[in-house]
Chains A and B, each alone.
Chain A
Amino acid sequence: MSNKIIPWKNGIKDGIPIALGYFAVSFTFGIVAKKSGLTPFQAVFMSAVNLTSAGQFGALALIGTSATYLEMALTQLIINLRYCLMSCSLSQKFEAGAGWPHRFLVAFGVTDEIFGVSVCKAGKLNPFYNYGLMSVSIPGWMLGTFCGVVSGEILPARIISALSVALYGMFIAVIVPPAKGNKLLTGIIISSMLLSLLFAQLPILSQISQGFKIIILTVAIAGIAALLFPVKEAAHEG
């Protein structure tokens, strides 16, 4: 029993910053959704079943231009392809015997944030930890959407601005502690940030969408790092 309840509670605790960050992002999404002509129910429904910020913003643009369903499907595939990479990484954290239902449920919650927090947990993945993360962050995502649609610009910009940093703060809290005293990881993290900055600044590279930039840099940097610094069997603590 405690093998389920305790990880679930830990997930809820770690999920609170995700929920706050989601609230800020989805609040903005709600405002844009309203401007695109979606009803509150449609906007919240879209948030509930998709859980993807870039994908949802992209969808609004497509719906506005009366795109075909095929265009919608291809756009989502391209924008969200990075989740495929994340699920590959997450698949190795599963117990080999983990049943199908857990895989189907955990898959629904593979977002940048839930992935980042759960994959860096020590040891094997406990699905109930992911359910804990999901059970606060998904309502946060939906509530933010709802408030954005119905209240528009009522929430003070200061609050949204402050909450906007929550997700990044969380990412930093995930990657910095394991890098402490580990020169290799520190080097990889700093190079990743510098190359990401370079991609954002250089003329042609800055045209690449955020989703593809993440895929290109992840495959390149992790690929080179794996070649130069293969991880020993023992280093399984993650």
Chain B
Amino acid sequence: MRGNIYLYILVMAGVTYLIRLIPLIFMRKEIRNVYLKSFLYYVPYVTLAVMTFPAILSATANLWSALAGFGTALILAYRGGSLFKVSIVACLSVFIVELMV
């Protein structure tokens, strides 16, 4: 027998929401401990870097367009482009390279 799809969805939604909510509820004070503070300061940079590379290389139809998108994003971000600009131009460069290759 298959379970009820809506119950499955509610179970997964409940678990996922609690994972996100619990730290926000229980960590209400500013952490004073220098080590923990530094750790949490570095978390986003490490997480986002790990998620981006090498996953970006296999995100598109071929490696060349992925490299074009990656390179474009790095250059524009280094020049201080906004999130929107960096993201859209990276998409465009993937599109153009895939038209050529």
Contact = CB atoms under 8 A, between A and B. Distances in A.
Please indicate whether A and B come from the same complex rather than being unrelated chains: yes
Given A174-B83, A226-B35, A107 B24 contact: yes
A162 B86 contact: no
Interface in A127-179: 157-159, 161-179
A131 to B, nearest CB: 15
B62 to A, nearest CB: 9
A63 B49 CA distance: 32
Q: How large is the interface on A (under 10, 10 to 19, 20 to 34, 35 or more residues)?
A: 35 or more
Contacts of B90: 165-166, 168-169, 172
Interface in B51-90: 51-56, 59-61, 65-66, 69-70, 72-74, 76-78, 80-90
Contacts of A238: 41
Contacts of A92: 27, 30-31, 37, 40
A161 B8 CA distance: 31
Nearest to A216: B50
Contact of A165 (B20, B27, B56, B74): B56
Q: How large is the interface on B (under 10, 10 to 19, 20 to 34, 35 or more residues)?
A: 35 or more
A87 B34 contact: no
A162 B60 contact: yes
Nearest to B36: A226
A164 B9 CA distance: 26
A198 to B, nearest CB: 10
23 contacts: A14-B82, A14-B84, A17-B84, A17-B88, A72-B12, A83-B16, A88-B23, A88-B43, A92-B30, A107-B24, A115-B44, A161-B98, A162-B91, A165-B59, A165-B73, A169-B89, A174-B83, A175-B48, A175-B77, A214-B51, A217-B50, A222-B42, A225-B39
A9 interface: no
A45 B13 CA distance: 10
Interface string B3-26: 101111111111111011111110
Contacts of B82: 13-14, 173
B49 A189 contact: yes
B51 A119 contact: no
A94 B35 CA distance: 19
B14 to A, nearest CB: 8
A106 B23 CA distance: 12
Contacts of A203: none
| Contact residues of A: prevailing secondary structure | helix
A207 interface: no
A72 B8 contact: yes
Contacts of A32: none
A141 to B, nearest CB: 14
B60 A164 contact: yes
Contacts of A226: 35-36, 38-39, 41-42
Shortest Cβ-Cβ A-B pairs, 3 listed: A17-B87, A169-B90, A226-B38
